[in-house]
């Protein structure tokens, strides 16, 4: 085959340090827009960005040349700097780890809807409950002693 064709969609999830509820509504939408802009800046495609006061979700399409750990490093570092500079929250930090899940093309619309409706979803579940549910749903082994 003379050419390469890829479908690399990822659902990315990461929290503020210690799941602190510091992403307030007044600037949350701007942060989400900035997160999407970072993805565009590294030649990815942001399909959905959402979250609530203690975490963020992104649905992104990436290239084969992207390294997921570098992508997350850039997203988290650049957005932290943005919060410090634009919002003035000098104590803002993201948790070191993240969850990265591959998304089948047939599930993209479903994941988009899930990400864009985070406020509604989190009326019923906490971040920790959501995170554990996703780990179990995806068959990811974990030791809860090292999650938080």
Split into its structural domains, the chain has a count of 1
Within a domain: 3: no
How is residue 129 annotated by DSSP? H
The Cα angle at residue 60 between residues 35 and 45, in degrees rounded to 5: 80
Within a domain: 74: yes
pLDDT tens per residue, range 4-40: 889 999 999 999 999 999 999 999 999 999 999 999 9
Residue 125's pLDDT is what?
92
Within a domain: 81: yes
144: pLDDT confidence band, cut at 50, 70 and 90? confident
Residue 129's pLDDT is what?
94
25 lies in which domain range? 9-146
Within a domain: 41: yes
Within a domain: 4: no
Rounded CA separation 12/99 (Å): 6
Within a domain: 2: no
Radius of gyration of the chain (CA): 15
pLDDT tens per residue, range 74-100: 999 999 999 999 999 889 999 999 999
What's the whole-number mean pLDDT along residues 95-120? 96
Question: What 3-state DSSP class applies to 76?
Answer: helix
Residue percentage of the chain with pLDDT more than 90:
89
Residue 148's pLDDT is what?
83
Within a domain: 111: yes
Count of Cβ atoms closer than 10 Å to residue 115 Cβ: 22
The alpha carbon of 89 is separated from its chain's Cα centroid by a whole number of angstroms, namely 20
Residue 114 clears pLDDT 80, i.e. is over it: yes
Backbone φ and ψ of 140, nearest 5°: -90, 125
Within a domain: 1: no
133: pLDDT confidence band, cut at 50, 70 and 90? very high
| Angstrom distances, CA of residue 70 to CA of 21, 67, 76, 110 | 25, 5, 10, 26
- CATH of residue 98's domain is 3.30.70.1290
Residue percentage of the chain with pLDDT more than 70:
99
**Scanning the structure block, which residue is given the tokens 């920790």?**
128
Rounded CA separation 115/110 (Å): 9
Report the chain's mean pLDDT, rounded to a whole number.
Answer: 95
Residue 121 clears pLDDT 90, i.e. is over it: no
Question: What is this structure's pTM?
Answer: 0.93
């Amino acid at each position: 085959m003379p050419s390469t064709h890829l479908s690399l969609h990822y659902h990315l999830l990461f929290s503020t340090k210690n799941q602190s509820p510091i992403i307030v509504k007044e600037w949350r939408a701007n942060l989400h827009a900035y997160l999407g802009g970072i993805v565009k800046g590294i030649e990815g495609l942001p399909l959905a960005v959402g979250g609530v006061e203690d975490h963020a979700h992104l649905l992104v399409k990436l290239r084969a040349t992207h390294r997921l750990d570098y992508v997350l490093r850039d997203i988290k570092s650049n957005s932290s700097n943005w919060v410090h500079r634009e919002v003035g929250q000098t104590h803002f930090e993201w948790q070191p780890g993240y969850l990265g899940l591959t998304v089948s093309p047939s599930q993209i619309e479903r994941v988009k809807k899930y990400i864009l409706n985070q406020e509604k979803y989190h009326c019923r579940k906490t971040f920790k409950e959501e995170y554990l549910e996703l780990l179990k749903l995806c068959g990811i082994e974990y030791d809860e002693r090292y999650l938080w």
